[in-house]
Amino acid sequence: MKLSGLVLGTLVIGSLAVSPLQAKPTTSGMTPAEVGTLATVATIDKNEILIAVVALNKQLNADVMDFAKMMIDQHGGNLTQILTMINNAYPLTGGEADKLAAEGKQGLMKLGDMKGDAFATAYVNAMVKGHEAALNLIDTRLMKTATSEDVKKFLTDTRAAVAMHLEHAKKLQDKMKS
């Protein structure tokens, strides 16, 4: 089943490169590229939370429900950390964040109509695909924007959480296949 536009699953990220003229630090010490990176991660967190809330409102097995609860808790914590880092001084919108929000909304609408095992399978498959895409994005693009120690540490910690989520989702996926 093709799940185009699914939360994180179809991340098609444009260039986050910033020219030296654009890389001036903001008043908080973050560069515009770092603020954009945080907006991108915040949008991913919001997409994960929204689809997990939908999952909690479906009649699913305990393993999938526990995974959805973990997504809400951990992505919610990550989002709170971002809001603290930017001190509400910057909007978490624009560019890639807006694009990811639109893709997440499309995926949410598609999954929202599904029920039972079909939803559970599509949700878990989307979580595997999406977390793989998020790891790739962090490794190949977002880490390159980090110049401050706070943003570097945040992305390193976020990467570790995403890797853990991916492994958990893969185990769920394998369990559902058997």
Write the CATH number for 58.
1.20.1260.10
Residue 60 is assigned to a structural domain of this protein: yes
As a dihedral over the C-alpha atoms of residue 135, residue 143, residue 38, residue 124, rounded to 10 degrees, the angle is 0
Residue 50 is assigned to a structural domain of this protein: yes
Total domain count, the chain: 1
pTM for the model stands at 0.81
Residue 7 is assigned to a structural domain of this protein: no
Residue 13 is assigned to a structural domain of this protein: no
Domain holding 63, by residue range, is 32-177
DSSP the chain: ---TT-TTTT---------TTTT---TTS--HHHHHHHHHHHHHHHHHHHHHHHHHTS---HHHHHHHHHHHHHHHHHHHHHHHHHTT-S-S-SHHHHHHHHHHHHHHHHHHT--HHHHHHHHHHHHHHHHHHHHHHIIIIIHHH--SHHHHHHHHHHHHHHHHHHHHHHHHHHHHH-
Question: How far apart are the two ends of the chain, measured CA to CA in Å?
Answer: 18
Q: pLDDT 10s digit of each residue in the chain, 178 long?
A: 333 333 333 232 222 222 222 333 444 578 999 999 999 999 999 999 999 999 999 989 999 999 999 999 999 999 999 999 988 777 787 778 888 888 888 888 888 889 999 999 999 999 999 999 999 999 999 999 999 999 999 999 999 999 999 999 999 999 998 7
Residues 173, 128 contacting (CB under 8 angstroms): yes
Residue 8 is assigned to a structural domain of this protein: no
Residue 47 is assigned to a structural domain of this protein: yes
Residue 3 is assigned to a structural domain of this protein: no
Residue 119 is assigned to a structural domain of this protein: yes
